Amino acid sequence: MVTRFPPEPNGYLHIGHAKSICLNFGVAKEHGGVAHLRFDDTNPLTEDIEFVRSIQDDIRWLGFDWGDHLYFASDYFERLYGYATELVRKGLAYVDSQDEAEIREARGTVTEPGRDSPNRDRSVDENLDLLERMRLGDFPDGAHVLRAKIDMGSPNMIMRDPILYRILRAHHYRQGDAWCIYPLYDFAHCLEDSIEGITHSFCTLEFENNREIYDWLLDNLDVPRPQPRQYEFARLNLEYTLLSKRRLLWDDPRMPTVAGMRRRGVPPGAVRVFCDMIGVAKANSRVDIGKLEYAIRDDLNQTARRVMAVLHPLKLVITNYPRGQIEQLEAPYFPHDVGKEGARTLPFSGELLIERADFAEVPPKGFYRLSPGVEVRLRYGYVVKCTNVVKDDEGEVVEVHCSYDPDTQGGNTPDGRKIRGTLHWVSAAESLPAEVRIYDRLFRVPDPDEVSEGETFLANLNPDSLQLLSESRVEPSLADAAPGTSFQFERQGYFVTDSDATDGRLVFNRTVTLRDSWARSHTPDTTDADAKRVSRETRSDSATAVLQDHRPSDAALAAVFDRLVGANVPETDAGVLTRAPEALALFAAALEAHDNARLVATWVVNEVPRAAEGVALSALPFSGADLGGLLGLIAEGVVSSRSAREVLAVMGERGGDPAAIVTELGLTQLDDVAALITLVEGVLQAFPDKVAAYQEGKKGLIGFFVGQAVRESDGKGDPKVVKDLLHERLD
């Protein structure tokens, strides 16, 4: 097997090219063959040596190498010209002197055949003479073209005497001014494949009709046998972006170019995994960008050191901390992976900076971070309690004053008191200033080309695709971070030091969030019933977004898939489990503790990744048996599903027995009918308009009422009991 990646050096590669690179180099390697890199440089107007170098760098970055097999179409110009004269001698090509408009008009339409050129019957000698004079530069640009003589009535319009050569006086970046005629793609490409001994010529679906001219030329010329064969596959169409070299700046981190992704901190391994994940298809479709983001998170989760950064600082003063004292707290770089070593020290003082969003003077329901009178853990530090706030003249909080408990170093509470929130922080004096660039999706909609009449794709640009944060602070261990180094800013996302930072400044580009918050924040308002129908494919914080919903082709995995489906596991979840060994192992262990396969699969695929915040399944601080025990508590009615998610979040942070955590957090399910009646009646009194709508026939509102009542019970209310009580009062 001999494959080739044949880019035209007229721009920078994007992720669509990465798919082709992975296909050509990957298939050749898989079958013990070789892959060529060939620059299809037959258009001197747009090509440049800079693009050649960039493309080579991108391919090597992706992890592939062509070895000794580097080729240029321009090296074959003499041989290609020889093939052109061979066609003329065989009466299969002629020089046409019509201009471009006349040729186009005579080609016909999809319903009407074309008309023969008045020059079609020129003699072989006349055609050879004209072709040679075209080469020598005797004619101006556009005076003549060389066309194949095939069939002007062919239903495939490409076969209606396609143009093979044109006159073009332009300086070629490798051949200089040696040529003033250049071959067109359809003529050159198949012959280049033949010259190099290519066996499998992979191209995208838009070239499917070109296969006929590809084969016709090889059939009618004296070329080596066996001939190469063309195979088509669907090009990559990625949501929320455009894949077109003419529309893309090359290294802006918002762009899907390989150079842009590299600057944004995307690991090459993640790109390879993504290309393998989406596979090769024959039908065009748009690929969920969540699949790419999942692959990026999964790769960085294994390698990116965990550090702390505060993007929107708010000062926190510990009033009872010894003045002037600075402690050095040891913190591991991989707190959830005992197999990975490495740690740094964090200076802890009486003046810290926390994230502004982690404090609320009047906290909303379910806010488990810092607020007046509330205790929280400071990551690796102490438990603190908010005692006071300082405001500026406009009433905005500028300082939070707290007291700390010196017996809680490391976040432990010797007396066993319940602490729900854990915050990241940096020391106000010892932290370092940094510019942080928050990159988001370039477009607001999945298909940027879907626009109203008179608009262009620019109408769909996301105005918030870049936010510059100039007041951010990072821990001092990042002082010497080399350009291109990736980190996980705890609770924030994955970031990389920018390659273009100068003057000793620390500049970080966000590579990807810890979870996909886009789908949730950019989903149009829907009813509860609509929300339940949202496809798992759009929820990229779920591992379901990783994979296509189909049975694996591998026989062994297919057998596992069938067994899971037979056990009532949804096909989408079965697809995830069979392709993720760690997830399947967790599922099997949890199933031993709780025998509802469907429920176990749902939690392994959807809830565990959320609770783990990007931690690898193999590094979770809890076991499959612990997860199964938690699901058993749901089944027994001890805890609601909503409260169980809160328990799982705690398990994801520090492990522990689920039953003990339920008790610690006071989440035992409320099934006291009298208490629930009070809650239900309160909800009905609060929403009289919805009660009226329900009684007028909108029965789907029952879910709304159940949700409100369970929420009022802090998630402890038994939904089944609540629903029954609602029906008693509404029906």
Residues marked as catalytic: 8, 235, 245
Rounded Cα–Cα distance for residues 277 and 315 (Å):
45
> Among residues 591, 598, 590, which one has the least CA distance to residue 572?
598
Distance of CA 82 to the CA centre of its chain: 47
Q: How far is CA 365 from the centre of its chain?
A: 33
Dihedral in degrees, nearest 10, Cα atoms 489, 491, 494, 498: -40
Q: Helices (DSSP H) in 454-596: which residue ranges?
A: 518-521, 528-532, 555-566, 571-579, 581-593
- The alpha carbon of 22 is separated from its chain's Cα centroid by a whole number of angstroms, namely 17
Q: For residue 207, which of 94, 36, 40, 449 has the smallest C-alpha distance?
A: 40
List Cβ neighbours of 418 (8 Å cut-off, separation of 6 or more): 664, 665, 666
Q: Both tokens of residue 548?
A: 């296509």
Q: 197 vs 2, 67, 223, 338, 690, CA distance in Å?
A: 7, 16, 10, 51, 72
Give percent helix, percent strand, percent coil of the chain, each to the nearest 5: 40, 20, 40
Helix (H) / strand (E) element for 89: namely: helix 77-89
Identify the CA nearest to 359 among candidates 376, 381, 383: 376
- Please list, residue by residue across 332-345, b when 16 or more beta carbons sit within 10 angstroms of its beta carbon and e when fewer do: bbbbbbeeeeeebe
Q: From the CB of residue 152, how many other CB atoms can be counted at a distance below 10 Å?
A: 18
Decide: 274 and 288 in contact? Cβ < 8 Å. no
Dihedral sign (CA 426, 427, 430, 436) = positive
Task: Give CA–CA dist 157/343, Å, rounded.
Answer: 66
Query: For the chain, what is the total number of helices (H) and then of strands (E)?
Result: 24, 27
Enumerate residues 6+ apart whose C-beta is below 8 A from 400: 314, 315, 316, 317, 354, 359, 370, 386, 388, 389, 390
Number of Cβ atoms within 10 Å of the Cβ of 385: 15
